[in-house]
Homo-oligomer: A and B are copies of this chain.
């Protein structure tokens, strides 16, 4: 009998979803085991699309800028079509909507993202990673599931170790078996999820409605002029998508006939794909000096509509939604799943939230998965449809595709995800404020959306540039909302050199710092930031007329080891060449200001007036 090892969280699968979960666990100090059947990270191929919201999320762990710099940006999208012998460029249009995010859609191989996440996780001793390890049995003790301190999940695993022998040949040793007990388990083990199957859950939907597609990552030698732009080519020989990648790589999605697909699978050689690709791109020359990866997939939009069992085992990523890779969504939605789940698990495990919080995972992410599946159906049909491809419709042959592409750049980029009202999103009362007073007296607390017209309750807080009061450095406000498990209360205090506003701010901060204040009591703990609330001020007074030491003390927390915290107060002032001074306008906040409560995942939970401390406390009391 092996010994039993206990972990707070076990993650099965070290792809992007599993690693994002591990990143949260590393950051919040939760004892975690991550197992993965492969001997290491992905080396080539697989997913490669990164949406702007994913960059924002990566950046909240300090990883966004370096991944952004390493990525290829797909700025334009070109639509081409074949008419008889010639290939024609029908249009070139922007592949993003300006102003939604400081980041844009870009491409980078999944393996590189995994590497960045692994580099983040590795220095944290609380996360153990076991490669070449598969789960072999899973049991959930439903009777223990109500015991918060219990370990109701039991997992057996089997591990191998591959080592090079004296002649550098890989020798696989093992297996060794291990028994693990966990409080929570997250199945991030892909479309063929072992965890999902053990839970008797299934992906539902069509298997192959849209035919076969080959995928080829290579360095192209070609005179096709738009090879460094995202292209969609409609052609009778087959449809094609071109996705330029980091370094000199380009990915091709090639629609192929069933015989070609069968041939590829038989030979496992990309020559059949190359032949189709060359045909579609004629009369342009197409060769390659290096094929990095190739595969074939059959499109199937499928969904598992149960995301968790016993509130103890959760599924994420491809384990609950599979679809075509055409819109470059998979890696994004998968990482966003566990980005949503991770801080909630940490909050429950650290005892600062009720396990009921975990129900919001499915409540918030299932609608996203459903939208994803529907979106992918439109994308596939937009690319493959031939019905429009007749002379009389030639002018808007791409009409359907265009609207789908435009959707990709707003909603499907992850920026448009709005979590519905619930335990951790206070619904907005946007009608006549007078009429809603009565409603506001009774729980649940309501948000006053009209106080910040361009901030969407439930949506992620868009970034605006502000200037740090203490050192005049311009910042993206979002860059200050670091993912630590902490909530962020952003006080938009207006012109605090004005007496009325100064008094209002003073009353709010006094309430916040009152010994009995819920927020204050959460923050008194010197330990983990998980579940605590940090207060920030964004004011509109000229910053040279504001003295740091005159500010209310909750806005400049003092620590005897590191002194004052100088990073909580910002001015919405213009600054030469830095694009600052537009935050109130960008958020639609009037000079009276407001307060905006932002969740640990940067989604807006609540908007209230500076006086609405009761509603704020009522929100937290839940």
Contact = CB atoms under 8 A, between A and B. Distances in A.
A563 B219 contact: yes
A562 B248 contact: yes
Interface in A506-526: none
- In this complex, the member of A94, A227, A244 whose beta carbon has the largest number of chain B beta carbons within 10 angstroms is A227
A66 B64 CA distance: 12
Interface in A221-280: 221-223, 225, 227-229, 244, 248
Interface string A570-581: 000000110000
A548 interface: yes
Interface in A547-606: 547-549, 560-564, 566, 576-577
B549 A289 contact: no
Contact of A289 (B225, B228, B563, B566): B563
- In this complex, the member of A220, A471, A564 whose beta carbon has the largest number of chain B beta carbons within 10 angstroms is A471
Given A72-B471, A76-B471, A219-B563, 8 more contacts: A65-B69, A75-B473, A99-B577, A221-B560, A223-B549, A225-B549, A228-B471, A229-B472
A65 B223 CA distance: 34
B248 A563 contact: yes
A305 interface: no
A410 interface: no
A395 B289 CA distance: 71
A222 B559 CA distance: 11
A75 B547 CA distance: 17
- In this complex, the member of A72, A220, A289, A563 whose beta carbon has the largest number of chain B beta carbons within 10 angstroms is A563
Contacts of A228: 470-471, 566
A576 B94 contact: yes
A471 B229 contact: yes
A544 interface: yes
A92 interface: yes
A460 interface: no
A53 interface: no
B76 A576 contact: no
Contacts of A98: 576-577
A365 interface: no
A94 B543 CA distance: 13
A196 interface: no
A73 interface: yes
Given A94-B576, A228-B566, A473-B73, A289 B560 contact: yes
Contacts of A544: 92
Nearest to A287: B563
Q: Could you say how many copies of this chain the assembly holds? A: 2
Interface of A: 65-66, 69, 72-73, 75-76, 92, 94, 98-99, 219-223, 225, 227-229, 244, 248, 289-290, 470-473, 544, 547-549, 560-564, 566, 576-577
Nearest to A565: B248
A94 B473 CA distance: 11
Contacts of A560: 221, 289
A93 to B, nearest CB: 10
A72 B221 CA distance: 45
B229 A76 contact: no
Contacts of A472: 75-76, 229
Contacts of A229: 470-472
A439 B353 CA distance: 82
A471 B547 CA distance: 48
A94 B576 CA distance: 10
A360 to B, nearest CB: 34
A222 B563 contact: yes
15 contacts: A65-B65, A73-B471, A75-B473, A76-B472, A94-B576, A219-B561, A219-B562, A223-B564, A227-B470, A227-B563, A228-B470, A244-B471, A248-B563, A289-B562, A290-B561
A563 B65 contact: no
B69 A561 contact: no
Contacts of A290: 561
Contacts of A72: 471
A289 B562 CA distance: 7
B219 A547 contact: no
Contacts of A92: 544
